[in-house]
Structure 1
């Protein structure tokens, strides 16, 4: 599938997703929000996909919200923020939390600008690999706004509360080494996309059912109770033991390393 604003190419079980608005440094218009949301929904249904690499076109990840574009149309701004219930995710939030909700490992490749909404989207990924020159910022306060794209779901898990407040209050721009020191990114690499691809290929060697269960267990248990963690682990393990991919994983370890996994099970 390909659109003007987001491209999706699936090769050997790995989905390559590109934010594709280079003339605006991949800034987020209403149409781009819709395109990202559509791709996430498509990936959620495609059980052949076992890893995702998310990146931006032409050396930048995303410069954040295209304020002029969104502000020029009150109806589009309203559609971005609308939700039926307060606890539901609206369109602006789904482009971040949607990546966390996919039962698939998601790796973000961060280059150039990664500001505001771009950082919020990147926080939705499971792993963030940045180029040395990449710069990140939780920038919404500069526009008199609160970060409202669900990036806090991940931010509260990866850095201390006082650091999160400091970054959000100040809207400071961080270099890649500063972001790494805070834990905002996972790794700095001169060849971030190639590194992400190697990691995705490594992930492809393990059971897609196990990876889905691991992601669900860690994301939901990170701030949950011990009782819910123990229950979730036990239930996931029973489901995995009953699945065919667990048997295939054992065969790959002992007899046939190249035996293919079956498509991810629907109950993930």
Structure 2
């Protein structure tokens, strides 16, 4: 089964995370297919807008638990690390920078930043859970439509981690530095309604996916040159060099931190707490 579905109709790409039985948790295949779909859309002729959503009961519940269990046991958990442990070579992705020249992005950052690398608007439709890496994928979109009862959270601290999928750079630009720190340091979950109040989401909708598709089709009827220019010009408000340095710092800390004694202990503690009634 494909972990990511993509259909393009009338210039609108309908992209759906498709592991509904696992609340669309991120595993190796999901990362690979998210990046592959994003790369494909970079070259999609006539593309005018993208809708990013999740099948089933959630947008994305974050990293698959198999990765956390591997971290707790000090086992390789990333595809490149597994391949190296087996003595295999992992081929480089066809595109490494995804619009961040001079910096090779790791797969987590690619899975988020590819949506910003697209010249057309990307609208995330969030329902159920958008947690940890799942929230960071939604942060890669230009607009986030959420259900009122959605649950969003920066949960990495629960696992002894920091956000490493562009979250440390995008989050404070949306909610402000102090709120970004509160969310990242406490791992507090917020509802869709609170997410809109603090700037984490754009608007509450009864049916985020239907609203996102309607918005995408409206945008698709606009002057496509003007739409692309508007996204590019608005994104220039971000300091590109500062963001590049932040991406590099995210990657470097993640490489040092994962598998460290403190991080492994945090994962074991979290896994044990989840077993309790």
TM-score (norm 1): 0.77
**What residue in structure 1 maps to residue 65 of structure 2?**
67
**What residue in structure 1 maps to residue 53 of structure 2?**
55
**What residue in structure 2 maps to residue 157 of structure 1?**
173
Match of 1:222, SS? Answer: coil
Q: Does 1:202 align with 2:218?
A: yes
Q: Relative contact order: is structure 1 or structure 2 higher (C-alpha 8 Å, sep ≥ 6)?
A: 2
Task: Tell me: CA distance 1:88–1:50, structure 2 relative to 1, closer, same or farther (3 Å).
Answer: same
Distance in 2 of aligned mates of 1:102 and 1:71: 34
The correspondence of residues 244-259 of structure 1 with structure 2, limited to 5 A, is: none
**Aligned partners of 1:29 and 1:65 also within 8 Å:** yes
**What residue in structure 2 maps to residue 217 of structure 1?**
233
**Aligned partners of 1:70 and 1:76 also within 8 Å:** no
Distance in 2 of aligned mates of 1:136 and 1:209: 34
CA deviation vs aligned residue, 1:36-92 (integer Å, no higher than 9, x gap): 000000000112111000000013100000131475461635459x99899431111
Q: Does 1:24 align with 2:7?
A: no
Q: Residue 204 of structure 1: CA displacement?
A: 1.1
Task: Tell me: CA distance 1:219–1:71, structure 2 relative to 1, closer, same or farther (3 Å).
Answer: farther
Match of 1:217, SS? Answer: helix
**Aligned partners of 2:192 and 2:204 also within 8 Å:** yes
Match of 1:59, SS? Answer: coil
Distance in 1 of aligned mates of 2:220 and 2:155: 35
Distance in 1 of aligned mates of 2:31 and 2:149: 26
The correspondence of residues 128-147 of structure 1 with structure 2, limited to 5 A, is: 128-147=144-163
Q: Residue 177 of structure 1: CA displacement?
A: 1.2
Aligned Cα root-mean-square deviation (Å): 2.3
**Aligned partners of 2:61 and 2:134 also within 8 Å:** yes
Aligned residues: 222
**What residue in structure 2 maps to residue 118 of structure 1?**
134
**Aligned partners of 1:137 and 1:172 also within 8 Å:** yes
**Aligned partners of 2:15 and 2:51 also within 8 Å:** yes
**Aligned partners of 2:21 and 2:56 also within 8 Å:** no
TM-score (norm 2): 0.75
Match of 1:41, SS? Answer: helix
Task: Tell me: CA distance 1:120–1:79, structure 2 relative to 1, closer, same or farther (3 Å).
Answer: farther
Larger radius of gyration: 1
Distance in 2 of aligned mates of 1:153 and 1:164: 10
Q: Which runs of 5+ in 1 are unaligned?
A: 226-268
